Amino acid sequence: MTLPEVLPSQALRGSRAAGLRFRRQLDIAERARHDQRRNAWLAARNIRVLRVTAAAVLKADGLEEVLLAIEQAAAPSTAFGGPPPPLRG
């Protein structure tokens, strides 16, 4: 693994990020068509792919920004489109 892969991987592994599991993407940069099919397959199973560039990780405060972006992407949505909660009181 390269440094930009190791840093977030260790940070996520150590935090246990609210019980979520993460896998790093394997080296398949040349296979864009395969990426599209895989992303569609994952999306059909409610698995989100979040790509982060090495430059984003390595810049000043980059790791913290990346971890925050992962946390925000993994947070449950409050816009579920259902009815409003019942009024209390």
67 found inside a domain = yes
Residues 6+ apart with CB under 8 A from 52: 4, 8, 66, 69
Backbone angles phi, psi at 9, to 5 degrees: -60, -45
Per-residue pLDDT tens digits of the chain, which is 89 residues long: 788 888 888 887 766 566 777 776 666 566 677 888 888 999 999 888 888 888 998 998 899 998 888 888 887 766 666 666 677 76
pLDDT score recorded for residue 49: 85
84 found inside a domain = no
pLDDT score recorded for residue 44: 92
Per the structure, how many domains does the chain have? 1
What is the spatial distance between Cα 72 and Cα 18, in angstroms, rounded to a whole number? Answer: 12
What is the spatial distance between Cα 5 and Cα 9, in angstroms, rounded to a whole number? Answer: 6
pLDDT score recorded for residue 41: 92
13 found inside a domain = yes
pTM over 0.85: no
16 found inside a domain = yes
30 found inside a domain = yes
